[in-house]
Amino acid sequence: MVQRQLPRPAELFELMRFKTPEFDGTKRRLDAALTIDDLRAIAKRRTPKAAFDYTDGAAEGEISIARARQAFRDVEFHPGILAPAPELDTSTEILGGRSALPFGIAPTGFTRLMQTEGETAGAGAAAAAGIPFTLSTLGTTTIEDVKAVATRDAADGFPARTWFQLYVMRDREISYGLTRRAAEAGYDTLMFTVDTPVAGARLRDKRNGFSIPPQLTLGTILNAIPRPWWWIDFLTTPKLEFASLSTTGGTVGQLIDAAMDPTIGYDDLAVIRDLWPGKLLVKGVQTVEDAVRLTDTHGVDGIVLSNHGGRQLDRAPIPFHLLPQVRAAVGDDVTVMLDTGIMNGADIVAAVALGADFALIGRAYLYGLMAGGRRGVDRTIAILRTEIERTMRLLGVSSLAELEPGHVTQLTRLVPVAPQLRAAVR
């Protein structure tokens, strides 16, 4: 029989320890977010449907982004035992400079649409965390302002790293001018993007009647009622427009198709290589053959395996699945980065183990931005840092250099009927 007794008041008081209430609503929401998915849920509640869907959505049936995320979920880790890792080093050398973590912020367009702080929130948070920030050609903050914010907020021991993502325009002089301007502002890396000759079919945007800038309709007004803070910010801050381009107005597809040139080729890459004094990456590589040609023949400093977050060609290759083949083909001396589908720090650890030098986050950063502005981006980085550190400790490694392919198995759901090789474009 269990002996029962009346509870003693002193014991009751020990159990009655109430937390001090947090009156800052943004801090309370962000502190409660333990994962990137939590930040996404907050972002969805606080952002109008059209703006959220523009960020969250992808092309056509959104198969590519679903497959990319599933590929990371299908990772099996192989931890070492009796391998304590009391001191962790998550820093890495990338493109001639240091990064405190093995990831940076990817280029995103129309960023002030998601939350009015836009690129300044991303650049400041990245600099404070000691990681690179990439500004898009379609950014809504100027090249110079982003550099100023990053320089101001740079962490001790980690000088601000700012990279610029370049699209090749129909009017080549616009692209050349942006290249020179980024170099003059002190950007150290140019990210030449090759996967957007025309706009992908982003059906959520079409169904929402989404345009830049957003238009007030009966639907948007009704959707704004439970989200007045977003519209107050939008209507009381500077006009939402491109900071580096003069063309604004229309659907996203119309803007991209009007500005981009589907005829870009290797000659354009050669011109930009001659213009750009720093490191040069090509973003949007999706085959082993193209990876080899770029690094063997065209003098680039690195490549980014990416299908544009699934926003261009649906059913495109999964960058994470492609990674081991590309690393084996280009060798150890080529910088290989990866994006698309990253929602957890463990995804980044798996990518590094299989040969990636670095990863880029896009939507994960924007979910934090929509959830809480600059503080939300800080929270995104903090969540990913915690997940990276915990995964490394559980694997029994003390540094990124100790990660190797034996730590990871890619469990495959999609198996080709027969291997297919595409002839390189000459």
CB-CB contact of 203 with 60 (8 Å): yes
Question: What is the Rg, in whole angstroms, of the alpha carbon atoms belonging to the chain?
Answer: 23
Look at the chain and count its residues. Answer: 426
Contact partners, residue 162, CB within 8 Å, separation at least 6: 123, 132, 133, 134, 135, 146, 147, 150, 185, 186, 187, 188
Give the separation between CA 8 and CA 169, rounded to whole angstroms.
Answer: 76
Catalytic hit among 78, 298, 308, 407: 308
Give the separation between CA 310 and CA 319, rounded to whole angstroms.
Answer: 10
Q: What region does 360 belong to: left with phi over 0, alpha with psi -120 to 50, or beta?
A: beta
Contact partners, residue 56, CB within 8 Å, separation at least 6: 40, 44, 204, 363
CB-CB contact of 395 with 76 (8 Å): no
Contact partners, residue 187, CB within 8 Å, separation at least 6: 135, 143, 147, 162, 163, 164, 278
CB-CB contact of 354 with 104 (8 Å): no
Instruction: Provide φ and ψ at 310, rounded to 5°.
Output: 75, 15
Residue 360 CA to chain centroid, in angstroms? 5
CB-CB contact of 344 with 36 (8 Å): yes
CB-CB contact of 27 with 354 (8 Å): no
Instruction: Provide φ and ψ at 270, rounded to 5°.
Output: -65, -40
CB-CB contact of 385 with 90 (8 Å): yes
User: Known catalytic residue: 78?
Assistant: no
Report, as residue numbers or ranges, the catalytic residues: 308
